[in-house]
């Protein structure tokens, strides 16, 4: 597992141009939503003091006023944000396909984009299947937790409710990690073998449960790495003063550093998954 972990990191660092592509796609979407939000706020608030207040302080009183007195425009803003979120999700499928091609081949970034686009229909079907599996798993965990809560409702132990809630949350988290791991391996397998979404997903589920038991612990390790990076980001961000122009600029730069780390971690995870598949004799052979 350690070999796959560090090999995935080396692959991600070597494919830094693809990291920059993912960064650009993420930042472009974020700036598009920020620009749309700021234009709407300037019109709704008529460039008053509240507009400048939101630049450095997300005052909830301002948002309550917006919801109460500009509800129609607020709904338009939410609709626009939801539309951008859908566009970002669809574009993210292409970006993930590009990342997978990057870790499974030595093509240049432009060729990775082209090949990633050719994989888009397969990855879209795979993404839809994973959304359904995650929703079904989370829903099942919710109803299990609800049933367990009702079953322990008459218990004399006051902590029973919280134990039941924790059990449902733990099951939902475990299922999401399991399906996410299968999704990553299925995407890598599609790029290596050209299989369809359904066959690749079945193969991935068998791979992480039967053929390669290190896949799930490796995913947990990568998740812990991402959580540690986020905690480090938050620790530094708390020290940056956002009531000064310099502090705002530093906060933006530090936020971009977090996005870079997230994009690097995404390619890192695909590289680690590809390394596991290459090391498994019963898996499909590695294809450069």
> Count of domains in the chain?
1
Residue 99 tokens, joined: 């990342």
pLDDT > 70 fraction of the chain, expressed in percent and rounded: 80
CA atoms of 172 and 158, how far apart (whole Å):
23
Can you tell me the mean pLDDT for 34-45? 69
The more confident residue out of 32 and 43 is 32
Asked whether residue 137 is assigned to any structural domain, the reply reads yes
> Domain containing 20: what range?
2-279
CA atoms of 137 and 158, how far apart (whole Å):
28
Can you tell me the mean pLDDT for 241-260? 78
State pLDDT tens for residues 207-219.
Answer: 999 888 889 999 9
pLDDT for the residue numbered 45: 60
Asked whether residue 284 is assigned to any structural domain, the reply reads no
Can you tell me the mean pLDDT for 43-61? 57
State pLDDT tens for residues 61-108.
Answer: 666 666 666 666 667 767 777 777 888 888 889 999 999 999 988 888
| pLDDT band at residue 278 under the 50/70/90 scheme | confident
Q: Name the H helices within 159-196.
A: 160-193
pLDDT for the residue numbered 207: 93
Residue 241 tokens, joined: 């003063």
pLDDT for the residue numbered 285: 45
Asked whether residue 59 is assigned to any structural domain, the reply reads yes
pLDDT > 90 fraction of the chain, expressed in percent and rounded: 31
Q: What is the DSSP letter of 157?
A: -
Asked whether residue 237 is assigned to any structural domain, the reply reads yes
Residue 146 tokens, joined: 């609800």
Sequence-distant contacts of 235-242: CB under 8 A, at least 24 apart: 242/56, 242/57
Asked whether residue 285 is assigned to any structural domain, the reply reads no
Asked whether residue 136 is assigned to any structural domain, the reply reads yes
Asked whether residue 288 is assigned to any structural domain, the reply reads no
pLDDT for the residue numbered 163: 78
Mean pLDDT, the chain, whole residue set: 81
Res. 236: pLDDT tops 90? no
- 3-state class (DSSP) for residue 14: helix
Res. 287: pLDDT tops 50? no
Query: pTM for the complete prediction?
Result: 0.80
Q: Are 192 and 242 in contact (CB under 8 A)?
A: no
Asked whether residue 66 is assigned to any structural domain, the reply reads yes
């Amino acid at each position: 597992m350690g070999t796959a972990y560090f090999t995935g990191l080396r692959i991600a660092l070597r494919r830094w141009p693809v990291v920059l592509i993912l960064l650009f796609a993420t930042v472009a979407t974020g700036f598009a939503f920020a620009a749309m939000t700021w234009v709407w706020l300037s019109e709704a608030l008529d460039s008053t003091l509240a507009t400048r207040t939101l630049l450095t302080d997300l005052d909830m009183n301002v948002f309550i006023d917006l919801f109460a007195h500009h509800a129609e425009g607020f709904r338009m803003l939410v609709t626009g944000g939801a539309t951008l979120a859908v566009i970002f999700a669809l574009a993210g499928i292409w970006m993930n396909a590009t990342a997978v091609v990057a870790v499974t081949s030595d093509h240049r970034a432009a060729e990775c984009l082209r090949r990633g686009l050719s994989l888009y229909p397969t990855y879209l079907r795979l993404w839809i299947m994973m959304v359904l599996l995650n929703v079904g798993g989370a829903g099942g965990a919710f109803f299990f937790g609800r049933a367990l809560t009702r079953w322990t409702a008459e218990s004399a132990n006051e902590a029973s409710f919280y134990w039941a809630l924790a059990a449902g949350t733990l099951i939902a988290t475990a299922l999401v990690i399991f399906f996410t791991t299968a999704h990553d391996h299925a995407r890598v397998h599609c790029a290596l073998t050209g299989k369809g979404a359904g066959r690749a997903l079945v193969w991935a589920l068998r791979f992480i449960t039967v053929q390669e038991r290190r896949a799930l612990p490796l995913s947990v390790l990568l998740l812990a790495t991402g959580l540690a990076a986020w905690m480090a980001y938050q620790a530094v961000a708390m020290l940056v003063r956002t009531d000064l122009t310099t502090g705002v600029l530093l906060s933006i730069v530090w936020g971009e550093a977090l996005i870079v780390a997230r994009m690097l971690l995404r390619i890192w995870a695909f590289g680690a998954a590809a390394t596991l598949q290459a090391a498994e004799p019963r898996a499909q052979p590695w294809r450069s």
